């Protein structure tokens, strides 16, 4: 039962025709307002769904880009030289410990000949020079560049 149907019941009881017409116009305006509000709600529901989908896509892209930035930051912590990665401190000093350029784990050398192996990915590199000497060479190059 609509508002106008409800009003029809009072038609005979209204004080005068002018009051009835004002009430009728009021109910018509309320029904029109309700229809407009319903249309607006439906429109906003569609917009909300589109925005949620867009938010999901942007969240995925943000996660992907955050991972790229994290990897870049991780790569920036190391300097590769002659197949060996060396960790670089905040002040630019290169540590003498040899790291795997792939996994960034400390590589080991089991013999007197400097052959460094990664325990995780089995990366191996043979060097004519020990890692600590290579690190000193990198540090002296960095010192010369900063002067």
> Can you tell me the distance from the alpha carbon of 137 to that of 94, in angstroms, rounded to the nearest whole number?
9
pLDDT of 58: 97
Residue with tokens 């401190």: 89
Which among 77, 76, 116 is positioned nearest to 100, based on CA atoms? 116
pLDDT of 129: 79
pLDDT by residue, tens only, the chain of 147 residues = 566 666 666 655 655 777 778 888 999 999 999 999 999 999 999 899 999 999 999 999 999 999 999 888 877 888 888 888 998 888 888 898 898 888 888 888 776 667 888 888 988 888 777 888 888 888 888 766 665
pLDDT of 18: 77
Percent of the chain predicted with pLDDT > 90 = 27
CB-CB contact of 24 with 4 (8 Å): yes
């Amino acid at each position: 039962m609509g508002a106008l149907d409800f009003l029809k019941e009072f038609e005979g009881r209204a004080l005068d025709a002018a009051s009835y017409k004002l009430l009728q116009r009021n109910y018509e305006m309320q029904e029109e307002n309700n229809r407009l509000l319903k249309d607006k709600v439906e429109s906003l529901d569609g917009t909300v769904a589109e925005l949620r989908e867009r938010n999901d896509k942007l969240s995925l892209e943000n996660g992907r880009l955050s991972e790229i930035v994290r990897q870049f930051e991780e790569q920036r912590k190391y300097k590769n030289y002659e197949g060996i990665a060396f960790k670089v401190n905040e002040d630019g000093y290169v540590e003498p410990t040899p790291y795997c350029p792939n996994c960034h784990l400390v590589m080991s050398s089991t013999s007197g000949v400097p052959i460094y192996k990664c325990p995780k990915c089995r990366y191996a590199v043979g060097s004519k020079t020990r890692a600590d000497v290579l690190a000193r060479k990198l540090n002296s190059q960095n010192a010369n560049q900063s002067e």
